[in-house]
């Protein structure tokens, strides 16, 4: 059966992130170890426990939307549209695919929470008549995928994926399956999030998930003894997934191939991962099997690596279970969340992009500010500085609330 499945490649990328407002700038920043974390500027944080975030800087929605559209669109959708405009232009896909076989699958963990906050405040302070008639369409999580489909005439499936912090990875994986099994020739896929607002900061902080450090270089600390929680980030990354022969016939550049995907659930707890890391390990094992992994492969893993005490230890265990102790210690592992913060539903998308570029350029982005490595996290996390390595297989791990686990596998073409 596997021999009859169609191959899936990436032919376009777009990125609006805390470290760059396009794909080239984002990748350059990740290679250089640029920290996108800084004090929150969107609102006053005097009464909040967490003061830092990884905000997108200098984003101008007018590059992608007219004034009226921008007024009736939540930031999470604006970011998704911006990244998708970049990706579509990069791939030149718009007029080179049958619209009926052009789809959208886009992830978000939370959707339009800023709109919800704004309109709920109006309800309490000014009454129900002052709530915007566009409140619901601006807030709902499917609106990013819906508006992308409208903008680019994607008449195939147009769906959101909402699996918390695994949303971006699940979106890309499910989009690949759509092509692999013949339901689409091209899919706009990725993730988006814009949840840096007082209610989400308060909620994450009160469950003790966020770092309360006020030092940007001592806040997002994956695999470090000093870690105390994640730093919330925002942004969007969009990828154009395309059937391999379709891409070849167009003569378009190819960034890499999506050759494996694993999706599991811990079926254990609403926030905590399973103590045996069974779900994360199984997602990796499934992705490796689909990617035809062998011991000869040189592996890079872009870890979920949030910088929370439990996650980093259990992800290390999952990697060892999937690869075996020896191979795990020979592999390169890094967490780009040390630079971008945790972009929630967009995290899997930017980390998939990092994997593609690592393969393309043979450069492993670092885990920055890793100064005191935890003894329980005993793999090669590429501390503080990028390294050159001729990798043949890259994996991107995403682990979300609700026990959602996703792993994407990529190879060079």
Report the catalytic residues.
Answer: 165, 304, 342
Among 144, 61, 59, CA closest to 110: 144
Calpha distance 94→183 (Å, rounded):
18
- For β-strands 404-411 and 256-265, DSSP reports them as antiparallel
Residue 46 CB-half CA count within 13 A:
1
Q: Cβ contacts of residue 54 below 8 Å, gap of 6+?
A: 18, 19, 36, 37, 38, 220, 231, 232, 233, 234, 235, 339, 340, 341, 343
Beta bridge partners of residue 39, listed in sequence order:
52
Among 307, 41, 350, 29, CA closest to 190: 350
CB neighbours (10 Å) of residue 361? 12
Which structure tokens are listed for 362? 């043979």
Calpha distance 79→238 (Å, rounded):
10
- For β-strands 393-400 and 299-302, DSSP reports them as parallel
CB neighbours (10 Å) of residue 324? 12
φ/ψ region of 378 (left if φ > 0, alpha if ψ in -120 to 50, else beta) reads alpha
Calpha distance 350→362 (Å, rounded):
17
- Residue 266 φ/ψ, nearest 5 degrees: -65, -30
H or E element at residue 322: helix 309-323
Q: Which residue has the tokens 């970011």?
A: 79
Q: Cβ contacts of residue 279 below 8 Å, gap of 6+?
A: 264, 265, 266, 267, 268, 273, 399, 403, 405
Query: Percent helix, strand and coil across the chain, each rounded to 5?
Result: 40, 20, 40
């Amino acid at each position: 059966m596997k021999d009859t499945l169609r191959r899936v490649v990436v032919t376009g990328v777009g990125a609006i992130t805390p470290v760059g407002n396009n794909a080239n700038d984002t990748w350059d920043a990740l290679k250089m170890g640029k920290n996108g974390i800084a004090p929150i500027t969107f609102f006053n944080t005097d009464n909040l426990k967490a003061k830092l975030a990884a905000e997108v800087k200098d984003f101008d929605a007018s590059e992608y939307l007219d004034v009226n559209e921008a007024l009736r669109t939540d930031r999470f959708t604006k970011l998704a549209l911006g990244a998708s405009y970049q990706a579509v232009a990069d791939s030149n896909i718009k007029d080179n695919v049958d619209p009926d076989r052009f789809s959208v699958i886009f992830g978000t963990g939370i959707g339009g929470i800023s709109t919800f906050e704004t309109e709920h405040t109006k309800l309490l302070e000014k009454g129900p008549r002052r709530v915007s008639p566009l409140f619901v369409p601006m807030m709902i999580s499917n609106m990013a995928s819906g508006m992308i489909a409208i903008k680019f005439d994607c008449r195939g499936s147009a769906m959101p994926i909402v699996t918390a912090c695994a949303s971006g990875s699940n979106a890309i994986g499910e989009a690949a399956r759509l092509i692999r099994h013949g339901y689409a020739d091209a899919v706009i896929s990725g993730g988006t999030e814009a949840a840096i607002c007082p209610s989400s900061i308060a909620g994450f902080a009160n469950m003790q998930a966020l770092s309360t450090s006020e030092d940007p270089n001592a806040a997002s600390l994956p695999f470090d003894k000093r870690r105390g929680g994640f730093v919330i980030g925002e942004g969007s990354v969009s990828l154009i997934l395309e059937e391999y022969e379709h891409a070849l016939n167009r003569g378009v550049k190819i960034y890499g191939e999506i050759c494996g995907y694993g999706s599991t659930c811990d079926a254990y707890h609403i926030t905590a991962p399973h103590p045996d890391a069974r779900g994360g390990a199984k997602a990796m094992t499934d992705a490796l099997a689909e990617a035809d992994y062998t011991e000869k492969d040189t592996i890079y893993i872009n870890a979920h690596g949030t910088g929370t005490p439990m996650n980093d230890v259990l992800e290390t265990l999952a990697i060892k279970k999937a690869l075996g102790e020896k191979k795990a210690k020979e592999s390169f592992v890094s967490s780009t969340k040390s630079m971008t913060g945790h972009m929630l539903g967009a995290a899997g998308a930017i980390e998939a992009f990092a994997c593609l570029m690592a393969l393309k350029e043979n450069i492993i982005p670092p885990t920055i500010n890793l100064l005191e490595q935890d003894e329980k996290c005993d793999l090669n996390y590429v501390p503080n500085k990028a390294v050159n390595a001729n990798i043949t297989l890259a994996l991107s791990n995403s682990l979300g609330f609700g026990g959602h686990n996703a792993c994407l596998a990529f190879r060079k073409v």
